[in-house]
Amino acid sequence: MQNTDKPVLLLWFWPENKRFDLQDCKTLFQIDSCHLTDNRSLYSRAQGVLVFHNAIQDDLSNLPTSPRPRFQRWIWFNTASPNNTRRIKGTQGLFNLTMSYRRDEDIHVHWILTLKKDTDEDFVLPMKERLLCLILDRGDPHTQAWKSYYEELTKHIQVDVFYSLSASFSKSKNYFQTISSCKFYLSLESSTHRDYMTESFNGPLAAGTVPIVLGPPRRNFEDLAPGSSFIHVNDFPHATKLVEFLLRLDKDHEAYMRYFDWRRFYTARCHPTDENRKFSHAICQACYHVGANRVYRVVPDLYKWFFL
C-alpha cells in the first residue's frame, strides 16, 4: 500500500461480483478522497468497511471476525427495495452508516442534476426515430402493477422494446443512443417505495428524452428533477388517457420542447452502462463520504428505519 494520508475504505464484497477498476472513482467521477481497496489484509487500518447487504450470509460467517478498531465505521450498502431485501438476524446494530437509494440515508447514491455554468447554451434535441421505447434487463423483478400497466399501455400504443442481454444490443454501446432516438421512454420502476428511483429515470433525462415514470408519487420524483421534465402515469386516470396525451404531444413540437426547458439551467450526467460498473458510482460516493466526514455513530435498528 502506498503511503497516503487518505482514509482507507475497504470494499469487503464486490457487489454481485461486478468488479471495476478502482481508479474509476478518480477518472470517472473526480473523487480521490480515499484509498479504495478490496485487500482484506488492510482491515485493521480501514476507516470504513463497505458491506453489500445481499452478499451477507445468513449466519454472518462471511463478515469480518477480527475486533473492530474504535475508529472504524461499517457502511451498510443496499440497492434493493424493501420488497427484495431480506432481514438478516444479527445485523440490526452492526452498522455505523447507511448507503442506499433512500434520501435520508447517510450516503446519497442517486444521480442528481447539476447546475450549468453557461445558461445561454442552447439545448439541441437529438434526432427522434421512435415514439415510445423501453430497455429491459431480463430477470429484473417487475411488480404486478408494473406488468398490468405495461400490458394495458401496449394495447393502445406501440412500444419499441430492447433487451439489454440480447445478442443485437450492447448496453455499453447502444443504451444512450437508443434512448435518445425515442421521444418518450418508459421509466417504470419495480417498486413504489419512497425514493426508489433508479438509472431508468436518469437515463432519458441525460439522453434528451422525456421519461414516463411509474413508481413513487410525482412529488417524490420532483425531489430529483423539475416536475416539468417528466410525465407521471398517476397524472392520468388510465392508460388510454396517457396515450392520447402522448399522441397530441407528438404532433405539437412546441409543447413537447417545453419538457426540456430545465436544460437551460441544469445538466444530467450519463451514468456508466458497463455492467461491471453498475455499482461504481455508489461505491465512489462512499469513498467521498469517508474522506470528507469523520462522524461515528451506530444505527440502532437498521430494519425499523429501512422498512418504514
Q: Are residues 223 and 205 in contact, defined by beta-carbon separation less than 8 angstroms?
A: no
Quote the pLDDT of residue 141.
55
Is 34 among the domain residues? yes
Quote the pLDDT of residue 124.
92
Q: Does residue 192 share a domain with residue 86?
A: no
Is 249 among the domain residues? yes
Is 2 among the domain residues? no
Q: Does residue 180 share a domain with residue 72?
A: no
Q: Does residue 289 share a domain with residue 229?
A: no
Instruction: Cell numbers for 272, please give them.
Output: 456508466
Q: Does residue 107 share a domain with residue 142?
A: no
Q: Does residue 242 share a domain with residue 148?
A: yes
Q: Does residue 118 share a domain with residue 106?
A: no
Classify residue 266 by burial, with Cβ atoms within 10 Å: 0-12, 13-18, 19+.
Answer: middle
Q: Does residue 223 share a domain with residue 133?
A: yes
Is 1 among the domain residues? no
Q: Does residue 212 share a domain with residue 85?
A: no
Q: Does residue 173 share a domain with residue 206?
A: yes
Is 157 among the domain residues? yes
Is 96 among the domain residues? yes
Residues of the chain with pLDDT under 70: 1-4, 119-120, 138-143, 296
Q: Are residues 268 and 209 in contact, defined by beta-carbon separation less than 8 angstroms?
A: no
Q: Does residue 118 share a domain with residue 226?
A: yes
Which residues make Cβ contacts (< 8 Å) with residue 12, sequence separation at least 6? 40, 49, 50, 51, 52, 63, 64
Is 196 among the domain residues? yes
Is 120 among the domain residues? yes
Q: Please count the structural domains in the chain.
A: 2
Quote the pLDDT of residue 122.
83
Quote the pLDDT of residue 3.
45
Q: Measured in whole angstroms, how far is the alpha carbon of residue 216 from the centre of its chain?
A: 14
**Which domain, by its residues, includes 52?**
8-111+274-306
CATH of the domain at 253: 3.40.50.11660
CA-nearest of 24, 27, 66 to 43 is 66
Q: Measured in whole angstroms, how far is the alpha carbon of residue 237 from the centre of its chain?
A: 28
Residue with cell 445538466: 267
Q: Does residue 245 share a domain with residue 139?
A: yes
Q: Does residue 283 share a domain with residue 262?
A: no
Q: Is the pTM of this model over 0.95?
A: no
Quote the pLDDT of residue 276.
92
Cα torsion at 219, 223, 224, 226 (round to 10°)? 60
Amino acid at the residue 200 = S
